[in-house]
A and B are shown apart, each in its own frame.
Chain A
Amino acid sequence: QSALTQPRSVSGSPGQSVTISCTGTSSDVGGYNFVSWYQHHPVKAPRLMIYDVSQRPSGVPDRFSGSKSGNTASLTISGLQAEDEADYYCCSYAGSYTVFGGGTRLTVL
């Protein structure tokens, strides 16, 4: 099975907004509303930021939002802060298992 496709890197200045895309197929992202997003700082455990395409767990700032159109899901971070600099991974149900994206490094300039 193939990993979901994410851009290797994105960047933005503090206060700006950035969007990270996650492209799959009709067998995963496009076929189910089970897309989640994880923030991963080095040497820490990944943190769930979005689940079920657009739901935010308790404690996640509302600056983080998720959406989906067709086979592509997106994570948008508004009002960028220095602490948002991290790797971000998307994840989707794929019919019989779960698949992750390759990860996107977010740099806050």
Chain B
Amino acid sequence: QVQLQESGPGLVKPSETLSLTCTVSGVSITSYYWSWIRQPPGKGLEYIGYIFYSGITNYNPSLKSRVTISVDTSNNQFSLKLSSVTAADTAVYYCSSGYYTGKFDFWGQGTLVTVSS
């Protein structure tokens, strides 16, 4: 079955860049669009952006200036980079399949990233 697993540092300093990778198994990464979604502590879900294996991307306008999502088809992975982070970027970050229609079928378990010095 389709499985997703997030990986990356759990602690990032303010003003630095948050970097996460999502490893996809059970399906080729060329089969779906892939997204990042986050949930700050005590708050709701927030869409970050999506990518297709061809390189097509879409980002949340509120984060667009700081976000880059990329794909590595050879390793069946896609990645998130969020620059100039602040405490407001502290959240559980999820990777998932899906795109603008909001049909996010498969999800990783999520990884907590804390922004603190």
Q: Which residues of A are at the interface with B, using a C-beta cutoff of 8 A?
A: 1, 3, 34-36, 38, 40, 44-48, 51-52, 57, 89, 91-93, 96-103
Contact = CB atoms under 8 A, between A and B. Distances in A.
B100 A34 contact: yes
Nearest to B107: A45
Chain A residues touching B, majority SS: strand
Interface string B81-117: 0000000000000100001111111011110000000
Interface in B46-86: 46-47, 58-62
A47 to B, nearest CB: 8
27 contacts: A1-B62, A3-B44, A34-B100, A34-B101, A34-B102, A36-B103, A38-B104, A45-B94, A45-B109, A46-B104, A47-B107, A48-B104, A51-B102, A52-B101, A91-B45, A91-B102, A92-B102, A93-B100, A93-B102, A97-B47, A97-B58, A97-B59, A97-B61, A98-B47, A98-B99, A98-B102, A100-B44
Contacts of A36: 101-104
